Structure 1
Amino acid sequence: MKFGIHAGLWMKTWADDPAPIFKTAADIGFDGVEVSLLGIGMDRAELIGKQAADCGLELTCSTGLGPDADPTSPDADVRANAVATLTEAVAITQKLGARGLAGVVAAPWGVFDPANKIARAERAAKTLNSLDDVLADAGVKLGIEALNRFEGDLTSNAAETCAIARAAGSDHIGVLLDSFHMNIEEKDPPAALRAAGDTLVHYHVSDNDRGVPGSGRYDFPADAAALRDIGYDGWVVAEMFVMAGNPASADLNIWRDIEPDPTQAAIQTLKYLREVFDHVS
């Protein structure tokens, strides 16, 4: 089990310099940092990877697609752009020295077309399948994120997301499940994790308000037991967004400060994760 922290906890914009964040995360004791590719291109990837490595940290990556790169689109050119966009993201992930890329990759963030979900899911799976060789060559696993109903309609729970990942038919494609989204959408989050089984390639944690795990009402010990049952030994990354009043937080609808200090939130989080998840694997 590896414990990570999402750089977005401290970032004001996705293009902020992550070097100070790496030092802070390393000083706290995290194994790695998750960085968003929304602010990282190939031109910065090698340097950022070195900065993380110099701090003794591993990296994992997340990204999201826009409407012009929609894997579910009936327009073949738009689907081709999705493949090109994700291929570049995989290359950046590899250049960073990371082995995991997860996020909003089956359908664009904030796009809703519920009347056509079946056809869209089929197109998403076929589009993602075309990345199999790219992922294999890069040594990268792709995780499709299950999002709550307010952020997307195609992968709004674990079952829908796992179905697309399995239909993609690639050993290099799985799912990202996140306690914040599961808190909204799953009647039984541990059951969702168990049903995901070896399809689960990445796991995010924050409490029900997107703050420090263990400070709210989400049942993390139950999730830890489920992860143990399925033999999950990958990343547990705290993806918290706690500061209002900056561009990155506006993207995520953070309209008030959730925690008084991001660094203290990170310190409290790692202590809690070690208490709850350290004995999972």
Structure 2
Amino acid sequence: MKFGIHAGLWMDNWSDDPAPLFDRAARIGFDGVELSLLGVGPDQTARLRAAANAAGVALTCSTGLGPDADPSSADPAARARAQETLARAIETVAALGASGLAGVVAAPWGVFDPAAKTDRARRSAETLGRMQDHLAQHGVTLGIEALNRFESDLTSTAAETCAIARASGAANVGVLLDSFHMNIEEKDPPAALRAAGDALVHYHVSDNDRGVPGSGRYDFAADAQALAGIGYRGWIVAEMFVRAGRPTSADLNIWRDIEPDADAAAAQALAHMKTVFADVG
């Protein structure tokens, strides 16, 4: 099993250089670091890939689409921009030496139109399905993130998200499930994981307050059993947003410091992950 840490734990701005964080993550014991492409462009890939290799960590990536590049839009131009944006992201991921890209890719974060949800889901699936050739060409798998109701109305549950991934018809399109979002939306998170089955390509962990997994009330042991049951072999990445007053956490409404020390939070998270998920994969 591969254990990762999202670089956003330490970053004040998405434009900050993540390279110094690779050694930091490696010293703590993580296998890899997840980078947000919101601050990483093609001109940085060679340097960041070399830095990750030197630190001995693998990379995985996440991203998000804006309203002008909405794969679920009724506007064909917006859907075309979504494809162009995703194509560039896929190329960036491959250039970094990574194979996973996940995040807010079915519809833009914070855009709501529940009356048109059925048509939006259909268009999103069609748009993402058109990425299959590019994904396969570059050896990248795309994971659609299920987000809680305050962040998306289109992919709030694992079932909704899996439905879009499967309707895309693309072998390289699956889903990202996150314990923080499942804690809000799923009556039974382990059942949601089991139902996702082989559509699950990425898994994020943080506790119910978005802090250190194992420090709150979320049942990670039950998730671990579900992951083992479906034969999950992908990344388990701690995605914690715990520091107030940073642009990286402002959109997520982090108004107080949830954990007092980011390095300590990372170390505590990894210790819990290794204990609970030891038998997964």
1:173: Cα distance to partner?
0.3
1:74 is matched with 74
- Using the alignment, how far apart are the partners of 2:90 and 2:138 within structure 1? 7
2:242 is matched with 242
1:87 counterpart letter in structure 2: A
- Using the alignment, how far apart are the partners of 1:223 and 1:45 within structure 2? 34
Paired residues in the alignment total 281
2:277 is matched with 277
Q: Which runs of 5+ in 2 are unaligned?
A: none
SS at 1:237 equivalent: strand
- Using the alignment, how far apart are the partners of 2:194 and 2:96 within structure 1? 31
TM-score with structure 2 setting the length? 0.99
- Using the alignment, how far apart are the partners of 1:244 and 1:161 within structure 2? 29
- Using the alignment, how far apart are the partners of 1:16 and 1:23 within structure 2? 16
1:55 is matched with 55
1:251: Cα distance to partner?
2.1
SS at 2:62 equivalent: strand
1:203 counterpart letter in structure 2: Y
Query: Is 1:265 matched with 2:265?
Result: yes
1:260 counterpart letter in structure 2: P
Alignment RMSD = 0.5
2:174 is matched with 174
- Using the alignment, how far apart are the partners of 2:203 and 2:106 within structure 1? 17
1:19: Cα distance to partner?
1.7
Aligned pairs (5 A) from 1:102-113: 102-113=102-113
1:196 is matched with 196
SS at 2:177 equivalent: strand
1:153 is matched with 153
1:148: Cα distance to partner?
0.1
SS at 2:50 equivalent: helix
2:23 counterpart letter in structure 1: K
1:17 is matched with 17
Aligned pairs (5 A) from 1:181-220: 181-220=181-220
SS at 2:196 equivalent: helix
Query: Is 1:94 matched with 2:94?
Result: yes
1:114 is matched with 114
- Using the alignment, how far apart are the partners of 1:208 and 1:49 within structure 2? 33
SS at 1:164 equivalent: helix
- Using the alignment, how far apart are the partners of 1:45 and 1:154 within structure 2? 32
Q: In the TM superposition, what whole-angstrom CA distance separates every residue of 1:93-114 from its partner, at most 9, and x where no partner exists? A: 0111100000000000000000
- Using the alignment, how far apart are the partners of 2:19 and 2:134 within structure 1? 29
TM-score with structure 1 setting the length? 0.99
Q: In the TM superposition, what whole-angstrom CA distance separates every residue of 1:126-174 from its partner, at most 9, and x where no partner exists? A: 0001100000000000000000000010000000000000000011000
Q: In the TM superposition, what whole-angstrom CA distance separates every residue of 1:163-213 from its partner, at most 9, and x where no partner exists? A: 000000011000000000000000000000000000000000000000000
2:122 counterpart letter in structure 1: E
- Using the alignment, how far apart are the partners of 1:49 and 1:195 within structure 2? 35
1:130 is matched with 130
- Using the alignment, how far apart are the partners of 2:19 and 2:109 within structure 1? 28
SS at 1:252 equivalent: coil
1:41: Cα distance to partner?
0.5
- Using the alignment, how far apart are the partners of 1:56 and 1:234 within structure 2? 18
2:44 is matched with 44
Q: Which runs of 5+ in 1 are unaligned?
A: none
